[in-house]
Amino acid sequence: MSNLPPISGSDLLERMLVFSAGLCCTKPRAEVLASYPDLYRFLKRYAALDHRFIANPESIDIGDTDAAYNTIRLFRPEEVVLTTFYYGHPLALVWSCARRGIPITGIYWQAKPAHVRTLANAGVTLIKLDDFPTIYHLFDVLDRARRAGSYVAILADAPSQGRRRYPFLGYHVSASSLLALYASRTRSWILPAFNTIQSDHGISARLANAIPAKHPDVTSTVLDTLSTAIKENGVQYGWKPACILWSDNVARVNALTFVADAVRERDQILNAT
């Protein structure tokens, strides 16, 4: 994918600082700094995969992930809510479910028109959150979709202005309560779904342990699940200032302590390419 525009120095630095703040509470500083080249390689791989997702999604290799899709099918759509994260390429994950014959109704806050077209062409039903006057109108639409045989997918780590805070990677962050509210209302199991970008043309999918219906603290539990995935492979997360990490000001302060190192490492990475 040599025709892709290069990653800008400012964008790379921004990602490096959020990445550093995200990992510095759970990993030694030296390990965080040593991961910068891996982060850069992942960003290039993500950009190439995203280009494929828009231009020719059928060229994406989903990989040997039948176990994940078969697990989803063990549940009726009315029994379960799929939850996704800003990890890997979450839109490619939803698209891959539809490609495997699993009907999906997804909620989105913001999305590129090209991404929306790719998902719609795959048969994914997309619902924009802002189109509903109240959350209960949205829930009624989701209920109808599930009765019609579609699995509902809700992003777990969407930013929120809510007052409640949840532990996440050593911080206390705010996150959307939409998943918890809908799962509680419908007494649904929750299936956390992840995909990992393996190459510029390939992804793999996996499911974490299902969270039982009527769980007392859904949001904390799914964020714990996400934290575990990040600790295992931190570069796969979407390290942007818009992520939930930035809802804790301590994360911003911690990021500043990495500026000098990040600038130096960024320049070395870009000069070597």
Q: Distance (Å, rounded) from C-alpha 49 to C-alpha 56?
A: 10
Give the highest mean pLDDT range of 100-104, 162-166, 241-245, 252-256: 252-256
Q: Distance (Å, rounded) from C-alpha 213 to C-alpha 227?
A: 21
What is the mean pLDDT of the segment spanning 152-171?
92
What is the mean pLDDT of the segment spanning 62-83?
90
> pLDDT class for 19, splitting at 50, 70, 90?
very high
Given a cut of 70, whether residue 253 has pLDDT beyond it is yes
User: Mean pLDDT for the chain?
Assistant: 93
- Specify whether the CB–CB gap between 72 and 94 falls below 8 A: no
Given a cut of 50, whether residue 1 has pLDDT beyond it is no
In terms of residues, how long is the chain?
A: 273
Given a cut of 80, whether residue 3 has pLDDT beyond it is no
What is the mean pLDDT of the segment spanning 234-253?
94
Minimum mean pLDDT among 2-16, 84-98, 119-133: which range? Answer: 2-16
Contacts of 22 (CB under 8 A, 6+ apart): 169, 230, 234, 237, 239, 245, 251
Burial (CB < 10 A; 0-12, 13-18, 19+), residue 130, is exposed
C-alpha distances out from residue 41 to 37, 38, 54, 146, Å: 6, 5, 20, 39
> pLDDT class for 65, splitting at 50, 70, 90?
confident
Q: Distance (Å, rounded) from C-alpha 72 to C-alpha 80?
A: 9
What is the mean pLDDT of the segment spanning 98-121?
92
Closest by CA to 203, choosing from 7, 83, 45, 84, is: 45
What is the mean pLDDT of the segment spanning 111-134?
93
CA atoms within 13 A on the CB side of 116: 10
Which pLDDT belongs to residue 209? Answer: 94
Which pLDDT belongs to residue 4? Answer: 65
Given a cut of 80, whether residue 219 has pLDDT beyond it is yes
Which percentage of the chain shows pLDDT scores above 70? 98
Which pLDDT belongs to residue 5? Answer: 66
pLDDT tens digits for range 32-55 = 999 999 999 999 999 999 999 999
Given a cut of 60, whether residue 126 has pLDDT beyond it is yes
> pLDDT class for 11, splitting at 50, 70, 90?
very high
Given a cut of 80, whether residue 2 has pLDDT beyond it is no
